[in-house]
Amino acid sequence: MLDFFYILTKGGFVLWCVPSSATEFIKTINDAIDKAVLQGQGAGQKWVAQLTSHHIHYKLDNEFELVFVLGYQKTLNISYADKFLDEIQKRFRDLYKDDLRTGNFTRAFAFREVYEKSLKETEDAEDEMKKIRRLPRSYEESDKKLKTVKIVTKKGDKAADENKPKKPKVMKSSSKPSVVSNQKAPVLEEEEEEEEEEDAKEEQNVEDQDENKGQEDKSDEVVSDDAMMNEDERNRLPLEPVQPTALSNVQKLQALGKLPGPRSKGAAATKTPGKQEKDKPKGKKMAVSLKPNISDTNELDYTKKGDIKKEEPERTTVAAPLAARPEGGDLKTMAVESTGLASGLVDGFWSKLKKVNVFASKTLTAEDLRTGIETMREHLIAKNVAADVAEKICESVTDKLAGKTLGSFESLTSNIRQAMRETLMMILTPKRRIDILRDVVDAQKARRPYVITFCGVNGVGKSTNLAKVTYWLSGNNLRVLIAGCDTFRAGAIEQLLTHVRHLNNIFTEKNMPMIELYQRGYGKDAAGIAAEAINYAKDKKFDVVLIDTAGRMQNDEPLMAALAKLIHVNNPDLVLFVGEALVGNEAVDQVTKFNQALIDHAGLQTNPRVIDGIVLTKFDTIDDKVGAAISMTYTTDKPIVFVGIGQKYQDLKTINADVVTEALLK
Amino acid sequence: MDARQRAKLDEYVDPEFIDSSAGVFPLTIIMSFLVVFATIAILWWAKNRSRAARRGECLLLCGISNAGKTLLFSRLTMGVAKRTLTSMAVNRGSMTLENSSSDRPVKKVRVIDVPGNLRIRQRDFNSEKASAKAIIFVIDSTTINKDSKDVSDYLYDILREKTFRQQRLPLLIFCNKQDLNNDNETTQSIRQLLENELTMKRKTRTSSVAVHQGKAESADDIGRPGKDTFEFNDVKDLQIEFVDGSSLGAEKKSYAKHYDDIDEDDIVSTGDETDADSGANLNKVYDWIEKIWIK
């Protein structure tokens, strides 16, 4: 079932492998090692080989510097791969611990029988698991029970929106001064919503606390309140019954400290009416139950209360997230993140890590690394690295460090820092250096122009950076033809004409102009213009053709199809994606969708063209929030060819991986 | 009365205690500090000493991926040809040189194998280059036509390295894998190919876009400054030699010994086993190493 299994050292020596005569997998494994292990592209220690359709699982042993790799065909579904890797790792280490420690790799490892036995055991265990008939889970065991709060949160979004018009009706019953009509600004609405929640929450809290009031009937009342509230809820929204769990959840969250405790009433004057209501519980029973919408919004925004109580001026910043809720509705993590960011800006990266213990001669476990890695992840996100990318980088660093033994003078901090620096450097270092001038020489020999295409979303600086590249190429005595394939934006052609005129003034050479613009006005088909431009360049013996395209959003289907057509019809030598350094999480989306669109609309080509390189623009506008560079290179695995650091012709550089890494780790 | 008595007692008592303790106390502090500092200093020195000993004493194996460095490393240090995959980390080992002369019968040479993968090559090379006494640059003779650009890129960096030029480092360009196909590139043709590539590399490297916030590097040009084409003969600062051979060579059979499948055959030998005289082995490399280490 498994196609191959290799045990090798990190230095490259194969200690043991099966099948032992196989040389056809070497290329696959080398590729996997390059991409997955080194760069950290492998998600969760898995990798799918593109060409040979193998699934590859690997495991790093950092104590003895070993790598365990196995692979099987994509069509098979082997669920025990990870467990098997762990099992083999344990057995191999136990058997050959001494040899591995001394580095004696020349001996023969007679591991075959142990391997076979282990494989059989794992396979049998899997079959056993499948055979056990699984009873359907009861409600108590199911995940839904645990998720009730979250589900309420999600549905509660809609409830909150629905409830806004209902508020004036409900508010009449209480004498809260902060009641406002719906015509007020959303901030105020949220203010009152929060205050309502606070009040009603307080009521609930106080009522929930048996020890405070010492009255049994209180709890009954609360239960029935909840029941009534829930009935109303159920009428409005298709929620499952929350009643038995709402209590426990509230209490749970209080225990965690997310909700205000019983005595932390705060100084808001609006609380007093609420208190008066509590004093007359029986009389106010109906009033309490008449506010079901308050209570269910209560159950939503546990985090908001804490924030409001602490800092009033912070309200606007808290209101913003309310308006644009994250998709998971996961406000709790968001609150955590915001405090993390704030403290990150104040404390600095390494002071946070210094809180972690310093061990002496200890083997690192995932648990030890967790706090340090968490801090690092937040730090990366604060530096404008996309969230998914930061997550994956932290995972790969954890893999690299797990199981490593610390030396006597090393600390955890320095290890994490070193591992981070290595990973970031590896991401920023290209797999293959792109040398445009060298490739132009090749193209000259073949008597054809070297074609570069610039693509990207709107307003990133394609035309400006195209002019900079023209300046550089002309400075190296190359004749450049600019193809104006942006037939959409007003003034695009004129802009390029101005650049050409400027540059020709700078570089006058004999009688022939060094730089020319090939344009056919607006509204025409870009792919056709590009094809004509390339032919023209070939006739007039231009060395380089730069194709300027119109900016387009990555989810705009027809425009992406048009771009794909331009690229596949003309087959340029270099496709450069222009992205600005200011972009954050969008970077991943842009680059992925551009790549995907190019592959999807490839037509009949067997080898679809994808992005070959990245131009990172507006680098001077970000100070040290250089995370966009990481996000883009990590997603595409292609190098950053140029960096734009200003708006003049000379402001074109290549990326300095050391400087960027230091800026990210600072 | 009491006070006066007490004062008198103090007079008697105090000087002894105060003086002696005043004398001893600061001295103890100073002694203890000295001991602590001495311990730390000794530990630091011991830690750095092991690294300093290797400075400038090692043989460095460089080359792009899949050139055969790790296999060469295993041949030199362990004497057997182990099966290898892409290296992810530096390999360190030592080889012993048999010397026929009587004064130093056995000499130990430290060998360092730097991975060829472009991503980690920069970092590993930079950390190991200080300890290089000689470099073997391994080239895969079968794919040199395809990889000439990458090979020349790497070679250009090595040739330009200031520390190497100052110490007149011996550089051996080892054209590996001569045993694989019959119509390999010969040493002469590889030399010519590299010279052409390096000529172009000189021009393109100096005209390329500058590195953002990079250190202002002095234009260390390789070869003769005024001359247009690059030739290895012009390089006076490094002692360059070209040899060919094969790390696998006549020891192809050794693969099978280390994997316990006795019934499966390993790499099937394609040609004659009499590789000794065809140059498809490591003899020339051994000669070169001996020449450098045993002077």
Closest by CA position to A40, among listed A310, A502, A390:
A390
Pairing mode, strands A2-9 and A66-73: antiparallel
pLDDT band at A544 (very low <50, low <70, confident <90, very high): very high
Q: Name the percent of chain A lying above pLDDT 70.
A: 60
Residue A486, amino acid: D
Distance CA A306, CA A304 (A): 6
Closest by CA position to B197, among listed B273, B129, B146, B263:
B146
pLDDT band at A53 (very low <50, low <70, confident <90, very high): confident
**Structural tokens at position B292:** 């450098």
pLDDT average, residue stretch A114-118: 81
Residue carrying structure tokens 């919408």: A293
**A201 within 8 A of A304, measured Cβ to Cβ:** no
3-state secondary structure of A491: coil
A659 touches chain B (CB under 8 A): yes
Number of CB atoms found within 10 A of residue B1's CB: 5
Which residue of chain A has the CA closest to B261? A20
| pLDDT over threshold 50, residue A577 | yes
Distance CA B162, CA B27 (A): 51
Distance CA A530, CA A454 (A): 12
The whole-angstrom distance between B275's CA and the closest CA on chain A is 23
* Residue B37 confidence (pLDDT): 92
The whole-angstrom distance between B100's CA and the closest CA on chain A is 27
Which of the pair, B150 or A194, is modelled with greater confidence? Answer: B150
* Residue A209 confidence (pLDDT): 46
Q: Select the residue of B210, B212, B256 nearest A659 (Cβ to Cβ).
A: B212
**A572 within 8 A of A453, measured Cβ to Cβ:** yes
Closest by CA position to B91, among listed A67, A11, A61, A102:
A11
Contact A106 B84 (CB under 8 A): no
Residue carrying structure tokens 């994490």: A416
* Residue B220 confidence (pLDDT): 62
Handedness of CA A171, A173, A174, A177 (dihedral sign): positive
* Residue A392 confidence (pLDDT): 87
B206 touches chain A (CB under 8 A): no
Q: What is the CA radius of gyration of chain B?
A: 30
| pLDDT over threshold 80, residue A46 | no
Question: What does the domain layout of chain B look like in residue ranges?
Answer: 3-47, 57-294
Distance CA A437, CA B45 (A): 49
Instruction: Render each residue's pLDDT in chain B as its tens digit; 295 residues.
Output: 567 776 666 666 655 555 555 556 788 899 999 999 999 988 888 776 655 445 567 888 888 888 888 888 888 887 777 778 888 888 888 888 766 555 556 777 888 888 888 878 878 888 887 888 888 888 888 888 888 888 888 888 888 887 777 778 888 888 887 777 666 677 888 888 888 888 888 888 877 787 777 766 655 666 666 677 777 777 777 778 887 777 766 544 444 344 434 333 333 333 333 334 344 567 777 778 777 777 6
- All residues of chain B having their beta carbon less than 8 Å from the beta carbon of residue A21 are 261, 264-266
CATH of the structural domain A436-665, one choice from 3.30.450.30, 3.40.50.300, 3.40.980.10, 3.30.360.10: 3.40.50.300
* Residue A71 confidence (pLDDT): 83
Cα angle for residues B46, B51, B55 (degrees, 5° grid): 135
pLDDT band at A423 (very low <50, low <70, confident <90, very high): confident
- The DSSP code for B224 is -
A-B CB pairs within 8 A amount to 143
| pLDDT over threshold 60, residue A353 | no
pLDDT average, residue stretch A606-611: 84
- All residues of chain B having their beta carbon less than 8 Å from the beta carbon of residue A619 are 212
* Residue B32 confidence (pLDDT): 92
**A434 within 8 A of A641, measured Cβ to Cβ:** yes
Closest by CA position to B162, among listed B225, B221, B78, B89:
B221
The whole-angstrom distance between A467's CA and the closest CA on chain B is 14
* Residue A468 confidence (pLDDT): 93
Contact A432 B118 (CB under 8 A): yes
Which of the pair, A110 or B269, is modelled with greater confidence? Answer: A110
**A159 within 8 A of A236, measured Cβ to Cβ:** yes
Distance CA A206, CA A278 (A): 8
The whole-angstrom distance between A194's CA and the closest CA on chain B is 50
3-state secondary structure of B182: coil
The class (CATH top level) of A2-133 is alpha beta
* Residue A216 confidence (pLDDT): 44
pLDDT digits (tens, 9 = 90+) for A286-304: 444 444 555 555 556 555 5
Domain covering B57-294 assigned CATH 3.40.50.300 in the classification:
yes
Question: What does the domain layout of chain A look like in residue ranges?
Answer: 2-133, 359-428, 436-665
pLDDT digits (tens, 9 = 90+) for A220-251: 444 444 444 444 444 444 444 444 444 555 55
